[in-house]
Chains A and B, each alone.
Chain A
Amino acid sequence: GNSVTQMEGPVTLSEEAFLTINCTYTATGYPSLFWYVQYPGEGLQLLLKATKADDKGSNKGFEATYRKETTSFHLEKGSVQVSDSAVYFCALISGSRLTFGEGTQLTVNP
């Protein structure tokens, strides 16, 4: 079956630090890959997506590249802000079934 593995959290960074949250997946076929973000007290919001190998998704300074050879979709941001504090979920869709990783709690301190 499909699965998504995220790096364990929580992750705590200082403002302007570089962020990487690792995500690897197992899936049959050619899944689409997503990063969702959940701010405190809210539902999940789509952050970025990539639908085929070597695609780069980007939004709000976040980037992730669909690497089929390493089955990875790592999330990166060059300079985090306090407002980026949230839970980040890596996910894939294959056969109309969305599978989430466990989520990574990010806290950014001023």
Chain B
Amino acid sequence: EAGVTQSPTHLIKTRGQQATLRCSPISGHTSVYWYQQALGLGLQFLLWYDEGEERNRGNFPPRFSGRQFPNYSSELNVNALELEDSALYLCASSYIDRVPVSPLHFGNGTRLTVT
């Protein structure tokens, strides 16, 4: 079974630019989650998509947005990049209707560097 795949692996942008990060979930998973991991620790929840809809959002400004496509893959867009947006962005996928609760499966992340 192929795992969660993220692209690109690394992304370098300058302040004010836009970044687009992509995620393909495990086959059959309908939920996609995005997390920001800065400074090597501490995951901050960004967004949760399921069945094409945004289900929940973390405490991030509106310039962080995304979408989920009919094939359940997802994009995270970050507009008007700021230096503090430099981080590892992790995508995870899961089922949400399994009992017991299905854990999240993570990709290896996209390292975004803003200069």
Contact = CB atoms under 8 A, between A and B. Distances in A.
Contacts of B56: 97
Interface string B64-98: 00000000000000000000000000101000100
A22 interface: no
A8 to B, nearest CB: 10
Interface string A27-42: 0000010101000011
A41 B10 CA distance: 12
A43 B90 CA distance: 7
Interface in B41-67: 41-43, 45, 48, 55-56
A87 B96 CA distance: 26
B42 A98 contact: no
Contacts of B100: 32, 51
A89 B40 contact: no
Contacts of A15: none
Given A51-B100, A103-B41, A103-B42, A98 B106 contact: no
Contacts, number: 57
A51 B101 contact: yes
Nearest to A97: B56
Contact of B41 (A45, A46, A49, A105): A105
Interface string B19-45: 000000000000101010000111101
A98 B58 CA distance: 11
B111 to A, nearest CB: 9
A13 B6 CA distance: 33
A74 B40 CA distance: 22
B20 to A, nearest CB: 19
Given A32-B101, A93-B101, A44 B40 contact: no
10 contacts: A32-B100, A32-B101, A42-B108, A43-B4, A43-B6, A43-B106, A43-B108, A44-B90, A51-B101, A93-B101
